[in-house]
């Protein structure tokens, strides 16, 4: 069970088929230190290897922040191009591992999601924010640029114009504006509770189909529309060959609940 794993900066809980990963450095507004990033890798690998897990929620502890950004004290010690590049690549790898998980991932955001914190949320499939949330990529105010995937994932999500506005000004957007621009999917007074609700809606569906939807979107965004449609057709064919497809259609015709087995 995931609950048996011990971390210094994280907690990882499993509730049936749902895993909840909490960044737990409230004294530092859950900033992404090197230790946090290292433990994130370990936690994500453990979640990926746990067959019972059908969805993952990532949130922040302490009530003031999801993740307020990278650890600035650590960043300030970067010296030179090589060190900066390696730090960026390492952070990108963590976010890639999250984005590549074959099941739904949801960021439950209460408070600040800035810099690396927003990049962590962007690596998730869905983002749910409280009315108190503040989101932004303020790296230019430190003489940096987003380095954990922000310059690539944010424009793909909300369009280059809105993304450039956020990144070039370094401004923080509130929850309502984030919802309007499509940066978050839902607003909720209790985002973790809402995340559980949304996760349940997702995981009652066929797990292979969920994985193939994610793969189709991820791969399709890297090419042209025509290439994306070819990918969709290939993955549709794979879905049509599953036992879950047979079960889903049989259940629909019999007016009963489907019993998906992930086969």
Task: Please identify every residue annotated as catalytic.
Answer: 119, 139
Residues 6+ apart with CB under 8 A from 161: none
Burial state string for 31-60 with b = 16 or more CB within 10 A and e = fewer than 16? bbbeebbebbeebbebbbebeebbbbbbbb
């Amino acid at each position: 069970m995931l609950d048996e794993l011990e971390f210094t900066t994280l907690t990882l809980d499993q509730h049936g088929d749902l895993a909840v990963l909490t960044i737990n450095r409230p004294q530092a507004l859950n900033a992404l230190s090197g230790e946090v990033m290292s433990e994130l890798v370990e936690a994500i690998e453990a979640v990926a290897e746990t067959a019972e897990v059908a969805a993952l929620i990532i949130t922040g502890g302490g009530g003031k922040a999801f993740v307020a950004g990278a650890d600035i004290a650590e960043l300030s010690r970067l010296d030179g191009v090589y060190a900066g590049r390696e730090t960026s690549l390492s952070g990108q790898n963590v976010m890639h591992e999250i984005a590549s998980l074959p099941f739904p991932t949801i960021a439950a955001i209460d408070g600040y999601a800035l810099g690396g914190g927003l990049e962590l949320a962007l690596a998730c499939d869905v983002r749910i924010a409280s009315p108190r949330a503040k989101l932004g990529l303020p790296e230019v105010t430190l003489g940096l640029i987003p380095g954990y995937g922000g310059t690539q994932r944010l424009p793909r999500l909300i369009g280059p114009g809105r993304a450039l506005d956020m990144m070039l000004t370094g401004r923080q957007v509130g929850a309502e504006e984030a919802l309007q621009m499509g940066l978050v999917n839902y607003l909720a007074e209790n985002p973790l509770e809402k995340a559980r609700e949304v996760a349940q809606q997702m995981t009652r569906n066929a797990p292979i189909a969920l994985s193939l939807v994610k793969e189709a979107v991820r791969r399709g965004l890297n090419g042209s529309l025509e290439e994306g449609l070819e990918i969709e057709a290939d993955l549709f064919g794979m879905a049509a060959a599953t036992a879950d497809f047979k079960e889903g259609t049989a259940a629909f015709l019999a007016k009963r609940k489907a019993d998906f087995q992930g086969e």
